[in-house]
Amino acid sequence: MDFDGHCAALVDQAVLLASCLTEQDADLTTTVPSCPDWNLAQLLRHLGEAHRWVEELVRTRATDPPPDNALRVLPRDTHQSPAEVAAWLTEGARRLADTLRTTGPDVRIWTPLPSGSPRFFARRMAHETVMHRADVALALGSAFTVDHSVALDTLDEWMELGSLPEMFDFHPDRRELLGPGRTLHFHATDTPPEAGADWLVDLTGDTLAWRRAQEPAAVSVRAPLTDLLLLIYGRTPADGDTFDITGDAELLDFWLARVLFG
């Protein structure tokens, strides 16, 4: 996916999320199982405020990090209806996409990880919206599907960000993952061969590494693409008939427990 594709996906995913809320007249006090500290009202407030926070950074072409507000407590109660929250959410997503397009992909701005351009935020916010749509669907018991091109890109970004050297500074315990013979292979069973939907996670060196490759590994996981996405992002466990796991299942559990996104 390119910059324009990320901007479009950001809006598309917000609209799909909003539709899920309004079609079910969702109870916004429902706990979100995949984000157990939050209910729906908090999750939606988090996502909508993230869109607006990034929109301001891009619009003002910020060159320094903003004040840290990551620990702000989100209220559990809301007096808004699902329709009102849905409209607020989609309005913020559209405003962000418009600002990204107006600013362009290559302007130099502050980003929290290496990139320094709106490209980073377009991709990150598109995928943030994808995964929080999954959280809403899981909380409401709704079906969750996502276009293959979006799912592939969401998984690629997860692999890229998780392999950055900076992740050892943020999560020192991830060094425990490294060791001889530690490789994991993930294969999507419902994509055409040309999609190349294979990911090889290589923990045998001094850094966390990955590549798109279909290679032998200590543990292999085969499942439909959306299910792999939910598994790797920590939204569903690796059990049941959905996942075909061969090899060292303990390594898979060990890896999943230490690479939770965030």
Mean pLDDT of the chain: 93
Q: Which residue has the higher pLDDT, 262 or 137?
A: 137
User: Would the pLDDT of 29 be above 50?
Assistant: yes
Which domains does the chain show, CATH number per domain? Answer: 3-144 (1.20.120), 154-258 (3.30.1050.10)
Q: Which residue has the higher pLDDT, 226 or 259?
A: 226
pLDDT tens digit sequence for 63-112: 988 876 544 667 777 888 999 999 999 999 999 999 999 999 999 999 98
- Amino acid 70: pLDDT: 47
Q: Which residue has the higher pLDDT, 240 or 52?
A: 52
- Amino acid 168: pLDDT: 87
Average pLDDT over residues 9-35: 94
pLDDT tens digit sequence for 201-223: 999 999 999 999 999 999 999 99
- Amino acid 37: pLDDT: 87
Output b/e per residue, 198-226; b: 16+ Cβ within 10 A: bbbbbbeeeebebeeeeeebbbbbbbbbb
- Amino acid 77: pLDDT: 79
CA-CA distance, 187 to 92, in Å (whole number)? 35
Distance between first and last Cα of the chain? 22
pLDDT tens digit sequence for 167-183: 888 889 899 999 999 99
